[in-house]
Structure 1
């Protein structure tokens, strides 16, 4: 069964399982710091190690999904996620937690690579990506409301990641043994549009890092600077992720009407303002406004970025590579955010990251403008990555093919 005839449910399930880790980053890092003998910076480093494992899997498997087979790869990735996250949730030995988190992250990255390749090759990638983004955002929002009620410790968010991977396992039976591009056989040789793809892939780590650096310390901002309880901060994140659902729907509705350059360039500039606002918040209204607006915009911009990557190669290789590059930035986010917050404070961190986002918007917009002049099929709304990217912590989503880790 070719990828274009693969039903959407397994791809949506894999997308959700692969991208959930960056979406839960704030609560995961916060629980690691409060439940284990780790400083905030050390907990951020563990979060970075988890996401680095995810990025490594994406780079390693970007051009190998078809050769190794989506079904086998998906099952291997889900198994690693269950073993890694589940093992880390059940122990309090710090080295074992770190090893489990990295192993689980590699599993998440493997699953994400399979999902991204399948979506880029699907007959209706726009629809599948939208469903995937809706699924991961809704699940993450529900978990932000649930985890504070499950007691203290680092176990609940890691256990949630393991259980999500376990639930996705039965649907892998619907995956094909090999993938095939939905839009002809082009793209099976060398990577097409190499310069544009490389520039986009080079920009994505910085785009993702700038946002996920603050996402990784958003929980601390809510608790320490805005003086919220964990339950209140979790409710804000849940509402913010709900706003992300609206962003996903909006991106799907708009589709190619705005082109690619305007959503990517102007959207990133608006996100920069949200980052600065959230980092400077000292009360509930300011914190909620920054986080909600941020998460509303993030999946919109991410959808157009991943759509742009899918347009560059219908086989999905640029989609996987750009998503993995985003995961690389997401991986460095928690540690970068912790270090910046310790040295410049939360408001200073927001200002530095907002300035970085404005700078990185320039080359990304240039790629969108250049490719927008090319004839050919319009890429759809493919997912990630990464992370994360997200806020709506990661992806992070508007054409005919999409997380992010966040």
Structure 2
């Protein structure tokens, strides 16, 4: 397959194609709100439907990558992403946009499932996952810098995701076709470390919900509360994602030297502070500081979580299932954030007594990682 000490770039590209939609969530939801006859809550619901569809793909396909074949599933996912996001980008009919977002979300989830499964089987899954985070952060940053200068319209960020899927398609030829697994043998291969996996999955739902409830409305915070222009908000997001590259590089350099308890637990607490700062921002300085610090820390913690999930099962099933559980929290984020911001205002979303309080649950997953001597990458 891939040389053990080289970066598996086809997997990195597939990871990027699957993860780009969540990274572009603020501009996608914001433009649905401004370009189509949708309320902020309705636009958030569309974003949630997209991510929920992506999570469903992970739950459905987690144990089927080997039987169906990585190449086949990857191409199916990319095709669905191209057709779904592309169709939504070209249409102004709300039912078509919603349907396209759901189809595209399932495609993104399928691509992520294949990438997660194969990355978990790598000799160094942390290397592959950090490379994927670097690539998707850089691409999303470029989109945030470019889209505001291309004009209004909800279709631009959706088109960017669709074109990424198209660009990655040729690289799927290097993915394994898969070898059929005998049904009896396959069914007896139970998931190892069930308690740790379930605990990590439950924690990830809370972790993702807490963060994405604000991430999904970050664009609106910049526009409405901090009184910034779309181009300025785009620059802040691009710089923030660029800072995230630094965080990923730092995580890759540190590796397992600090264990996982400190990066995951300590990083999550610091993220909570950043969320509160961003939610209460009223000017460029506070908004940029919160977003940049937040996006610097987020991929660091995420890279360790991905590696933790990948190390639970070399066949990658926990990496996919935990990632899909995370996507459930992510999926509820845009709608939750939109509803809370409409009812209580942006600062209350980032207040410590709001969903962020569930962060300690995340740290409770840390002892499990030590018990099983996990090696890490990232939780999808």
Q: What TM-score, normalized by structure 1, do the two folds share? A: 0.89
Residues 1:360 and 2:356 are matched in the alignment: no
Task: Give the match for residue 402 of structure 1.
Answer: none
CA-CA distance at 1:384 after TM superposition: 5.4
Render the CA deviation track for 1:163-217: whole Å, top value 9, x for unaligned. 000000000000001279xxxx999811111011101111111110110010000
Aligned residue-pair number: 376
- CA contact under 8 A between 1:6 and 1:174: conserved in structure 2? no
Q: Which runs of 5+ in 2 are unaligned?
A: none
Distance 1:4 1:305 in 2: 22
Task: Give the match for residue 270 of structure 1.
Answer: 270
Distance 2:91 2:50 in 1: 16
Q: 1:14 to 1:270 in 2, by over 3 A?
A: same
Distance 2:365 2:257 in 1: 18
Q: 1:67 to 1:2 in 2, by over 3 A?
A: farther
- CA contact under 8 A between 1:265 and 1:364: conserved in structure 2? yes
Listed as ranges, the matches of 1:301-320 within 5 Å are 301-320=301-320
Task: Give the match for residue 231 of structure 2.
Answer: 231
Render the CA deviation track for 1:274-311: whole Å, top value 9, x for unaligned. 00000000000000000000000001111111111112
Render the CA deviation track for 1:67-93: whole Å, top value 9, x for unaligned. 110000000000000000000000100
Render the CA deviation track for 1:304-326: whole Å, top value 9, x for unaligned. 11111112111111100111111
Q: Which moved more, 1:217-226 or 1:127-136?
A: 127-136
- CA contact under 8 A between 2:66 and 2:178: conserved in structure 1? yes
Task: Give the match for residue 327 of structure 2.
Answer: 327
Residues 1:177 and 2:177 are matched in the alignment: yes
Distance 1:284 1:131 in 2: 31
Task: Give the match for residue 390 of structure 1.
Answer: none
Q: Which runs of 4+ in 1 moved over 3 A?
A: 1-7, 185-188
Q: Which runs of 5+ in 1 are unaligned?
A: 386-406
Q: Secondary structure at the match of 2:345?
A: helix
Task: Give the match for residue 139 of structure 2.
Answer: 139
Q: Which moved more, 1:116-125 or 1:324-333?
A: 116-125
Render the CA deviation track for 1:328-352: whole Å, top value 9, x for unaligned. 1111100000000011111111115
Q: 1:234 to 1:39 in 2, by over 3 A?
A: same
Distance 1:189 1:201 in 2: 20
Q: Secondary structure at the match of 1:258?
A: coil
Q: 1:187 to 1:130 in 2, by over 3 A?
A: farther
Listed as ranges, the matches of 1:222-301 within 5 Å are 222-301=222-301
Distance 2:5 2:266 in 1: 36
CA-CA distance at 1:356 after TM superposition: 2.9
CA-CA distance at 1:25 after TM superposition: 0.2
- CA contact under 8 A between 2:247 and 2:300: conserved in structure 1? yes
Distance 2:288 2:299 in 1: 18
Q: 1:3 to 1:46 in 2, by over 3 A?
A: farther
When the two chains are superposed, the root-mean-square deviation of aligned CA atoms in Å is: 2.1
Distance 1:279 1:192 in 2: 40
Task: Give the match for residue 373 of structure 1.
Answer: 371
Distance 2:179 2:362 in 1: 29
Task: Give the match for residue 130 of structure 2.
Answer: 130
Q: 1:168 to 1:215 in 2, by over 3 A?
A: same
Task: Give the match for residue 107 of structure 1.
Answer: 107
Q: What TM-score, normalized by structure 2, do the two folds share? A: 0.95
